[in-house]
Amino acid sequence: EAGVAQSPRYKIIEKRQSVAFWCNPISGHATLYWYQQILGQGPKLLIQFQNNGVVDDSQLPKDRFSAERLKGVDSTLKIQPAKLEDSAVYLCASRPGAAGTGELFFGEGSRLTVL
Amino acid sequence: KNQVEQSPQSLIILEGKNCTLQCNYTVSPFSNLRWYKQDTGRGPVSLTIMTFSENTKSNGRYTATLDADTKQSSLHITASQLSDSASYICVVSANNAGNMLTFGGGTRLMVKP
């Protein structure tokens, strides 16, 4: 079974530029999450989707971050414009069940460096 | 407010030694607790899941315990190996709409030869 796929693995941009990360969850997984993980800390939830609907985006900085999961499968997270403090690893994860049940599987992450 | 606190923040041990990592939580209502291992530059991988009725569960050299009364969990690593060097993250799932997850800050373990 293929795991959660993320791209790109690494991205370096200058502040005020934009960046987009892509995630393809495990086939059939209804719930998809985007997390931000700053070096040395645990993951922090940015947004949770159930199919193509948003369950929780309370911690997403909506003035600069946006995410979509249009067809309930893959998802894109965008940052525009980027700030220095956005330097982090962006982890995508998915769970099989509706309402976020089942084991959580993570992708390898996309490491963003903002200069 | 749901919280998960892990201790210690970091730990250095010699290869072959045992160690125990702690996780205290205030998540309610409780559904389950997972321990994840995150190698440097990789995504977290599940080690074990503990439900309310389980006290102890082993996965090779990893043994997790859960005390639902005191809301504490521990992860014991026996006969550590260099490959155990990683961050260990405790994640607690709430039994509510959306099955919200609360993450601990992790314990960074370094095993030295």
Mean predicted confidence (pLDDT) in A92-105: 81
Distance CA(A52)–CA(A5), nearest Å, equals: 18
All residues of chain A having their beta carbon less than 8 Å from the beta carbon of residue B43 are 4, 91, 93, 106-109
pLDDT digits (tens, 9 = 90+) for B17-54: 999 999 999 998 998 999 999 999 999 999 999 988 88
Considering only the beta carbons, identify the residue of B97, B101, B108 that sits closest to A104.
Answer: B101
Q: What is the mean pLDDT of residues A16-22?
A: 97
For residues B57 and B65, give the distance between their C-alpha atoms in angstroms, rounded to a whole number: 7
B92 sits in which H/E element: strand B86-94
For residue B49, the chain A residues in CB contact (below 8 A) are: 103
Per-residue confidence band for B57, with pLDDT thresholds at 50, 70 and 90: very high
Q: Identify the pLDDT of residue B8.
A: 96
Q: What percent of chain A has pLDDT over 90?
A: 78
Cβ(A34)–Cβ(A75) under 8 Å? yes
**CA angle, residues B92, B50, B26, in degrees to nearest 5:** 35
Q: Do residues B55 and B69 lie in contact, with contact meaning Cβ atoms separated by under 8 Å? A: no
Least CA distance to A10: which residue of chain B? Answer: B41
For residue B112, give Cα distances in angstroms to A62, B25, B39, B50, B83.
43, 30, 15, 29, 10
Whole-number pLDDT of residue B23:
98
